[in-house]
Amino acid sequence: MLPSRTFWAVTAALALALAGCNKKAEKKDDKPPAAEAPAEGAAEGAMMSSPDADIPAPKDVAAPPADAEKTASGLASKVLTKGTGDKKPAPHDKVKVDYTGWTTDGKMFDSSIKRGRPATFGVKGVIPGWTEALQLMVVGEKRRLWIPEILAYKGRPGSPQGMLVFEVELLEIIPGVAPIPAPDDVAAAPADAKKTKSGIAYKEIEPAAADGKAPNEWDQVEVEYTGWTTDGNMFDSSTKRGKSAKFPLNKVIPGWTEGVQLMKTGQKMRFWIPEELAYKGRPGAPKGMLVFDIKLLNVEEKPAPPETPKDVAKPPRNAKKTDTGLAYKVLKKGTGEAKPTETDKVEVHYTGWTTDGRMFDSSVTRGSTTTFAVNRVIPGWTEGVQLMREGDKMRFWIPEELAYKGKPGAPQGMLVFDVELIKIVK
């Protein structure tokens, strides 16, 4: 997961609302489609509907017998068939298994055996009881598991409830790529780390190139990186994926935007980024202070952002206003005669600000114009662009009801745009 804000502005997606508010998420490796299901292809809590008879439950399905092994977490298990292998799966591996699952009243709710095909999935991509149990097994081994609800579906609606019983046979271990070990100082910044006023701590790991170049916040950068939580858990790594990451520096978490500007190409730094400069407790994102090793590979310079208009807070007296509440004024007259209709496409340059002067999107800083259908953007743009001729540059004050209407994650309130109509595309 690239450390991204809820960024609406990627390739003009937000300002033009071509596809609503965009949040780009990086694809995780080794994650099965049913990330909490016992096995890949088994829908959560899905009951089997084959006409064949269910596989009978074991006699001890109601509770673990006295000879079952029990772990500190509450997982109970019993070896039914000894394996022939000597290696156990690691959390980063995948496994191929055959299995059957029952509730403690003896009702079978899932079985790869009944489906006639084994299941393959990541060891960490399943319910906690499976993740723990699989790491106890060797290839060829068959175990019966009694998994308490807290290690299974935790009462989730639509899933099997209570303690679950599984018989699992480990058929194959498919080696994965081990996570990159956390640095020794992952828990807290060491004494030799520097600190910015905002609270970011950092230290150099590798020096910059002799001709190293520092980025500005509006530039595009290419980096290699790995991120850990302060307990040493790696949650993301372009290095592990074997592919560098490229992104506009002002479209990532604040700690990255600030921190990477302290670097020069060729340099590698370690950053300790406090939560308020990272994901701010956002559900599903890594929590607390985060630690990143970042190597700056390349800087692609982009044009500096336009200056914030002095009249950004509200329309001036000389602005015109339409019946809908859209205010506008001409900044530069064009040479064209025709105006676009709502069924046309147009090519434009634009920059958008909130009324407190914060720029949230700009084709100018990306260094490329944007083309879109006039009737496929926010209402204020659809109306405003039809007032323009080729070559015109206008400033629009778009009230919230003609913009994003309070949609979560999108810019709020009245928005101000400078728009230059480059061309009407018939």
| Residues annotated as catalytic (active site), given as ranges | 99, 109-110, 127, 153, 166
d(CA 29, CA 254): 25
Read out DSSP for 258-325?
HHHTT--TT-EEEEEE-GGGTTTT-TTSPPSSEEEEEEEEEEE--PPPPPPPTTTTS--TT-EE-TTS
Helix (H) or strand (E) holding 343: none
Residue 100, beta-bridge partner list: 111, 167
Report residue 354 as tokens: 């909130």
Neighbours of 178 (CB within 10 A): 12
Give the H or E element holding residue 304.
Answer: none
Which residues, listed in sequence order, are joined to residue 415 by a DSSP beta bridge?
354, 398
Positive or negative CA dihedral for 54, 59, 65, 67?
negative
The four Cα atoms 210, 216, 222, 223 give a dihedral, to 10 degrees, of 70
Q: 2, 226 in Cβ contact below 8 A?
A: no
Per-residue CA distances from 200 to 130, 194, 232 (Å): 38, 8, 18
**Distance between CA 164 and CA 216 in Å, rounded?**
55
Nearest 5°: CA angle at 140, between 138 and 141?
60
What is the number of helices (H) and of strands (E) in the chain? 7, 21
Report d(CA 33, CA 40) in Å as an integer: 7
Residue reference for tokens 């996570």 = 179
How distant is the alpha carbon of residue 20 from its chain centre?
17
Q: Would you state the structure tokens that stand for residue 241, as one six-digit string?
A: 């994926």
